[in-house]
Amino acid sequence: MPLLAMCSIKGPGVTTAALGLAAVADESARVVLVECDPAGGDLMLRHGLAAKPNVVDLASAARANGSDSAVYRTVVQALHVGDRAVEVVVAPAGGAQSRAALPELTRAGQLVLNPPDRLVVADCGRFEALSAARPILALADVVAVVVRATADALAHLEEHLGELLDVVTGRLLVLLAHGGIYDETDVADVLGRYVAEELMGPVDQMAVHGPLPEDRRAAALLGGGLVAGRRWRRLPLLRSLDRIAGELAPLLAIAPQGGAASRTDVPG
């Protein structure tokens, strides 16, 4: 079940935040980061990973094996952030192969992105009306929309908010990126008013967190340009993401090991 889908409005920083969240997630969540950006992946080139296996192989394995989360065993690669090996499914650059693979991952009945026994973090890239990653948002328990708290970026978010609230069935988290000028309370007030008055929508489906700190060191480390030291978790961006991961944890809890099989037993 647990799927955290992450997208951005006009950038920046969704891939960095997705990898950071995966790197600080509790080990017990057995997190896997899947690059679902229809514009293509970045992790392979940034972190010197292999071109295969990739998201196309995930789609093929899912087609052959249904929704069994064991398919991840054959398609993940380990991306090292300091002492943490984050399991990732990379995507080729360019996007054409990702766009071809995404429909299989989101077709009706396909639950490979919602495994009961591990947390999937899906980097869905920039949110657009016709994005091939849009169906992933509908499958997610939490959708985090990364946006800079500036007047122009928030205006873009408002334009998409009605559509986001329509498509997202789980919790919608507005995650303020680094470099904005408004704080969490200001943004929550403005967006809350907009949702209530203009959209007449459910304000309690949405929460605002952040802003994430401007942290070039952590961003370089998560971008593959810097090797992590022993204290990488103490960098401001990672600490901030760790707090957010803690707040989201109750919404993204995995089934206890062995619990998945017993869920199919319906008491008579």
Ligand X SMILES: Nc1ncnc2c1ncn2[C@@H]1O[C@H](COP(=O)(O)OP(=O)(O)OP(=O)(O)O)[C@@H](O)[C@H]1O
Sheet strands (E) in the chain: 3-8, 32-35, 77-81, 84-89, 120-126, 142-147, 171-176, 206-209
- The one of Mg ion, ligand X, none whose footprint includes residue 98, by CB under 5 to 8 A per kind, is none
H or E stretch covering 189: helix 184-193
- Give CA–CA dist 123/126, Å, rounded: 9
- Give CA–CA dist 258/260, Å, rounded: 6
Q: How far is the CB of 86 from ligand X (least distance, A)?
A: 15
Name the amino acid, one letter, at 72. Y
Judged by CB under 6 A, the residue of 178, 187, 206, 245 near ligand X is 178
- The one of Mg ion, ligand X, none whose footprint includes residue 128, by CB under 5 to 8 A per kind, is none
Asked if 219 is part of the footprint of ligand X (rule: CB under 6 A), the reply reads: yes
Question: With contact defined as beta carbons under 8 Å apart, do 264 and 242 qualify?
Answer: no
Rank residues 146 and 254 by Cβ distance to Mg ion and give the closer one.
146
Rank residues 139 and 222 by Cβ distance to ligand X and give the closer one.
222
Six-digit token pair at 104?
């299989």
- The one of ligand X, Mg ion, none whose footprint includes residue 219, by CB under 5 to 8 A per kind, is ligand X
Asked if 95 is part of the footprint of ligand X (rule: CB under 6 A), the reply reads: no
Asked if 43 is part of the footprint of ligand X (rule: CB under 6 A), the reply reads: no
- Give CA–CA dist 127/132, Å, rounded: 10
Asked if 131 is part of the footprint of ligand X (rule: CB under 6 A), the reply reads: no
- Three-state secondary structure call for residue 6: strand
Within a 10 A sphere around the Cβ of 74, how many other Cβ atoms?
12
- Give CA–CA dist 116/67, Å, rounded: 10
Q: How far is CA 2 from the centre of its chain?
A: 11
- The one of ligand X, Mg ion, none whose footprint includes residue 12, by CB under 5 to 8 A per kind, is ligand X
The residue ranges that bind Mg ion (CB under 5 A) are: 15
**Which residue's structure tokens are 């990702």?**
98
Q: How far is the CB of 170 from ligand X (least distance, A)?
A: 21
Asked if 13 is part of the footprint of ligand X (rule: CB under 6 A), the reply reads: yes
- The one of Mg ion, ligand X, none whose footprint includes residue 87, by CB under 5 to 8 A per kind, is none
Asked if 176 is part of the footprint of ligand X (rule: CB under 6 A), the reply reads: no
Q: How far is the CB of 219 from Mg ion (least distance, A)?
A: 12
Name the amino acid, one letter, at 209. H
Judged by CB under 6 A, the residue of 84, 118, 126, 233 near ligand X is 126
Residues at the interface with ligand X (CB under 6 A)? 8, 11-16, 37, 42, 125-126, 178, 212, 214-216, 219, 223, 237
